[in-house]
Amino acid sequence: MYEFSRPLGDTIKKARKSKGLSQRKVADMADIEVRTVMHIENHEDNPKMVALYALIRALEIDPREIFYPEQNCDAPTVEQLGLLIAQCSEQEAQILLPAVRAILSAIRNQSDLLVGAIT
């Protein structure tokens, strides 16, 4: 089993169940075989990109849940921030990007200074 098989299967199953969908319904929505959904959820199969793309879209999954499972994508504040950014135009995002980077850098440097002062 590959390193990504478990987060992939767990994320697909969680999203499907949270929407109250059967494996058959998800397979129909993604235009794939039901056995493909079953194998993925049971960590027995690694889907082709076409199937993975279709599942992510059909279940409205944030791909970070699969590819970066160690990050907490369910944090409400992070989710709110992501939604605000997703609503930005390209021009607004270009204006925000340097400001956000600077703010994060300042916050992280301040945290490093506090940790250094304690130890």
Is 49 in the same domain as 18? yes
pLDDT band, residue 116 (cuts 50/70/90)? low
State the helix-helix crossing angle for 49-58 and 23-30, rounded to 10 degrees: 110
Tens-place pLDDT, residues 2-51: 676 788 899 999 999 999 999 999 999 999 999 999 999 999 978 899 99
Statement to judge: residues 105 and 59 lie in one domain: no
Which 8-state DSSP code applies to residue 67?
H
- Sequence-ordered list of residues with C-beta below 8 angstroms from that of 23, at least 6 positions apart, any chain: 16, 34, 37, 38, 41
Domain shared by 84 and 46, yes or no: no
Whether 14 and 59 map to the same domain: the answer is: yes
Position of tokens 């944030």?
62
Report the CATH number that the domain containing residue 33 is assigned in CATH.
1.10.260.40
- Please state the rounded mean pLDDT for residues 102-116: 80
> Is residue 45 domain-shared with residue 83, that is, in the same domain?
no
pLDDT in tens, 86-106: 889 999 999 999 999 999 999
Range of the domain at 60: 5-67
Q: How many domains does the chain have?
A: 2
